[in-house]
Amino acid sequence: MDENTTTDSPLDPAGMLALVRRQQRDIGLQLGGAVPYILLAWGVSWTLGFLGLWSVDGLPTGLPLGAAVAVFVVLFVAAGGVSALLGIRRGRGIRSSPDSAFTGTVYGVTWSIGFVGLTAIGVALIQRGLGDLANLYFASVYVFFCGIMYIIAAAIWHAVPALVSGCWLVLVGATAPFFGYPGNYLVLAIAGGGAFLVMAVALLVYRAAGRRAHV
């Protein structure tokens, strides 16, 4: 905001209403400015990570399995780190009530509990002879779980975009195994990672358009 705000004098009603909208938009951008970049980080990690896994048997000269798994893990850890860092920066200096903090903590911990639980189930299934079907199990249940967590986030914080993307991820996770291996990884890369990239770009374009409209 660059207008002179030291004055006590009001503008006309249209000017004051415009000031409210401009100010709230500006705060929204400052507090939520990182969201497209968080989506971008996840979009890149999902797209490249799943493409790497698909390439193992999907391309004649694909990555070796070990390398594809390592790339996948590194990209996911990096995206998680970017999200955490940008999330912490957003919440800097803002305090929520104990009730909200409890909700946020339970929600955050549920991510870890879910991933650990689904991994444990997968390991147990492998020990009982799951074999190559593990390729279908792990990727799909993780994506499906992400979708469910997005939907829960939408319910808690009334976020419609989270609801839409959560439903999409549930759909992608649940249908990917029907494409078999390695096609399921290609589906997850394009429809899963691609969805994050589309959302990130759409948000950046929307903001740029809004910025031009307010100049």
Q: What residues line the site for another protein (CB under 8 A)?
A: 1-11, 13-14, 16-17, 19-20, 23-24, 26-28, 30-31, 92-97, 99-100
Q: Which is nearer to another protein, 9 or 112 (CB)?
A: 9
| DSSP H or E segment with residue 77 | helix 65-90
Q: Which is nearer to another protein, 2 or 132 (CB)?
A: 2
| DSSP H or E segment with residue 102 | helix 98-127
Distance CA 151, CA 160 (A): 9
Shortest distance (Å) from residue 14 CB to another protein: 6
Shortest distance (Å) from residue 156 CB to another protein: 11
Q: What would the two tokens of residue 182 be?
A: 């390695």
Shortest distance (Å) from residue 167 CB to another protein: 24
Distance CA 18, CA 39 (A): 30
Q: Which is nearer to another protein, 10 or 131 (CB)?
A: 10
Q: Which is nearer to another protein, 25 or 118 (CB)?
A: 25
Q: CA distances (Å), 20 to each of 108, 190, 215, in order?
A: 33, 40, 15
- Between vectors from CA 48 to CA 109 and to CA 73, what angle results, nearest 5°? 40
Q: Which is nearer to another protein, 158 or 212 (CB)?
A: 158
Cβ pair 74, 48 in contact under 8 A: no
Shortest distance (Å) from residue 148 CB to another protein: 24
Shortest distance (Å) from residue 137 CB to another protein: 38
Q: What would the two tokens of residue 78 be?
A: 């990096």
**In 3-state terms, what secondary structure has residue 179?**
helix
